[in-house]
């Protein structure tokens, strides 16, 4: 009987299954390919979520800074003598609450002012300034990266930062609630 003819009752044998050549048996290749690609795919998806979360926190910080500088420049509390840096910092922290306790506790809020409308030089830290002065509210936060990224970068020879420094600030000219000198 010729080897190319099949016997009665036997299923046909494809040339790949005969054991001829290197790629003769491919039954486990899909599982191996999945085992190689799946961790990278999961790491990539986690990276997308981590960057999205970092952007959400950054935008929330910008909103908090904007609300804080609006309060600082409006002269709120001048009539009752309650205008203070603590009041502005409290407003910023209140705006940071939706971002979570970790962000609220880890954020550093600072307030500076410059005399007049020119904001050059170092400014005066911890001061809201007077009418027609420039005031700046700034929030700094170190966003912790996910540990799998640090481990993956170490495996591939590069060092991943343990945190990413986020900083948002805004300057505004104080309103003239009194005469500008």
Residue 163 has pLDDT above 70, yes or no: yes
Whether residue 4 is predicted with pLDDT greater than 60 in this model: the reply is no
- 46: pLDDT confidence band, cut at 50, 70 and 90? confident
Say which residues have a Cβ less than 8 Å from residue 117's Cβ, sequence separation at least 6: 132, 133, 134, 173
pLDDT, position 143: 93
How high is the pLDDT of residue 97? 96
CB atoms within 10 A of CB 112: 21
pLDDT score of 13 more than 70: no
* pLDDT-derived band at 10, boundaries 50, 70, 90: low
For the segment 124-135, what is each residue's pLDDT rounded down to a tens digit? 999 999 999 999
pLDDT given for residue 77 in this prediction: 81
Domain spans of the chain, in order of start: 29-173
């Amino acid at each position: 009987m010729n080897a190319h003819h099949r016997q009665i009752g036997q299923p046909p044998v494809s040339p790949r299954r005969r054991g001829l050549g290197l790629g003769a048996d491919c039954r486990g290749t899909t599982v191996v390919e999945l085992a190689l690609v799946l961790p990278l795919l999961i790491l990539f998806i986690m990276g997308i979520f981590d960057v999205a979360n970092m952007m959400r926190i950054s935008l929330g910080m910008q909103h908090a800074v904007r609300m804080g500088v609006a309060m600082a420049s409006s002269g709120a509390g001048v009539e009752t003598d309650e205008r203070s840096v603590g009041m502005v910092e409290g407003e910023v922290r209140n705006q940071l609450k939706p971002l979570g306790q970790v962000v609220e506790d880890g954020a550093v809020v600072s307030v500076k002012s410059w005399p007049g409308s020119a904001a050059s030089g170092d400014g005066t830290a911890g001061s809201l300034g007077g009418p027609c002065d420039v005031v700046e509210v700034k929030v700094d936060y170190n966003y912790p990266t996910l540990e799998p990224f640090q481990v993956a970068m170490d495996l591939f020879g590069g060092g991943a930062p343990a945190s990413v420094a986020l900083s948002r600030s805004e300057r505004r000219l104080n309103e003239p609630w009194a005469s500008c000198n």
